[in-house]
Structure 1
């Protein structure tokens, strides 16, 4: 029903369909979170069954993400993803998954990239608190995982989970744009953490840092000028 055909626009405009899609999103996220959490209880994380179960849930998320973009319902996906992001990382950064589930870890970055792109470029409008949470949650993880995945791709012939250049550029550009939409104090916090990081090379937020510096200097200059004008006028 949601394919590229002549009936697509009619389906997208149907309130019942849109309502069903929103309910479906909540259900898919719930099932994904349940299966993700159950990984930590699986005695054999490298088994085909474990990989297949979680891979199907991730495939559902990816499909739903593409559908919601077409229906202008991506905000629903963004809200759900932001709400469970810390719980996702709590599982995939657990010691039990330290040297397994590379495909899952790479997919989580890929899905996050779509969320960051939607928010960073203004296709989805969410509160500043949500934008800050997205960045503070995923920026450290992406920064940590890229060199790890790059290293494994170098060491292991045929390792399939290296982040490709297009995805890297999209995530970096989205993060730069997203930082610049935040209140100045939040920008300062995120950029300060980024500068302190060992892997400052990626993502490169120097453009956002330069803009923040310029805006901060301009704001201070205007404040000083306003203060001087007020002092002159009171004499």
Structure 2
């Protein structure tokens, strides 16, 4: 078969592949004499830099500023191209050494040219035997193209990165590719993987995947790895790499078991510093994108309320022990620390419930803790003030609209715990740096103002007498008192006669 016919068949084969644009043509000579220094050249040269006489001395025009910017960009591109040329030159030298040492081959019988999108070209002499043996793509295209005394020219156009294509060809001459990849960065290996997949260089694909499976990834690199692997559609060969980020189908029940174990571990931690750090970490992770992904596996409401009941039971036991304590029992300081710890545990779980918009049921649960409230009133304030922070938490959330519960439930909460909050407020404010006095007062004020006017009156008149006697040791909710006063005496609204029914008055206006 004539060499021209063989070349035509190969050209048609390459054009049919959507990932590469290659062309073949038989060479008129049987050998290649081009020197290494001429195997690469930029498609164009940037304009020369301006001389000192042409530079503006002052107040440059817009055109001059644009010209300067263009020159800077051109200089940057030129420097980048020079660096690329230097690296490519090293790769071509490495290619020549490998072809002799690893394969014992002489000069190549295929001239392979790689062309970038901006016209940058690199040519190299490679060996048909190596291409066919290493790449199923080249095997298909070159297996019928050889003719005695004739070498071929192959051109790969529109390349994203010429350097990566050259390096992929160099890898074909190595037996131990994974050793050759040691020290490369993840981005470079992903680029090599992409080219290896395009030309069906199986050894290159395997080595790149083994590298990716073995090295650590940054968070940005992880996103790139997953994106590249999904685009390349390598299917079963990427399973080992993906095991780092996927363990197979997960279920809500399985995830919830893990969450329960982690949360319980924090609640029972022995080291206080580690406990605080893990509380912060887990809270941040649980709140991360919590409402943006419908498929997200999250801690369940049942698990959180299970932990709430556990904390409440522990609090009741601790307070019961504190009320019956005498000189022969445990150290009071140890018991005080246990009460503070259990109260802090409950505060943490309530914070998670509020963040996940699951705290409505807890308001009723806390309002029903009359036994705990009674025990609370029988022990010294210094032992119990951390418990009142839970009431403050709920009032702040209600005042912000983050908890939506019926009015009767809100009133029941304050009926059970407001007196305790008043008593403990001074200790809360002095003993804990994390208590924001104004935040508590604003939250309490707003929560009170959500009640019926009669309920507001009962609570605020009681507060008025207490504040006059306690001063700063009582929450200052004057703002709520002012609003109630105006509602009750200045802007009286009489449209609602019966609080159990909605009264609607229709008015006819003249037309």
In the superposition, the TM-score normalised over structure 2's length comes to 0.36
Change (3 A) 1:119 1:45: farther
Q: What is the correspondence of 1:172-191 to structure 2 with a 5 Å cutoff? A: 172-191=441-460
8 Å Cα contact 2:286/2:298 also seen in 1: no
For residue 209 of structure 1, what is the aligned residue in structure 2? 481
**Structure exhibiting the larger radius of gyration computed from Cα positions:** 2
* Higher relative contact order (Cα pairs below 8 Å, separated by 6+ residues): 1
* Residue 144 of structure 1: how far off its partner (Å): 3.2
* Structure 2 residues without counterparts, runs of 5 or longer: 1-258, 260-281, 497-511
- Farther off after superposition, 45-54 or 31-40: 45-54
SS in 2 for 1:190: helix
Coordinate RMSD, CA, aligned: 3.4
Instruction: State the match for 2:421 in structure 1.
Output: 142
Greater per-residue helix proportion: 1
Q: Where in structure 2 are the equivalents of 1:47-196 lying within 5 Å? A: 47-84=332-369, 86-94=370-378, 97-98=379-380, 102=382, 104-147=383-426, 149=427, 161-162=430-431, 164=433, 167-196=436-465
Contact 1:12–1:71 (8 Å) recurs in 2: no
1:117 offset after TM fit, Å? Answer: 0.6
* Counterpart contact for 2:425–2:475, Cα < 8 Å: no
Q: How many residues align?
A: 207
**1:120 to partner: Cα distance:** 1.9
* Structure 2 CA distance for partners of 1:106 and 1:192, relative to 1, 3 Å: same
Q: How far does residue 5 in structure 1 lie from its aligned partner after superposition?
A: 4.0
Give 1:31's aligned residue.
Answer: 314
Partner of 2:270: none
After TM superposition, give the deviation of residue 14 of structure 1 in Å: 4.4
Distance 1:115 1:11, change over 3 A: farther
Q: Using structure 1 for the length normalisation, give the TM-score.
A: 0.71
SS at match of 1:42: coil
8 Å CA contact 1:146, 1:163 repeated in 2: no
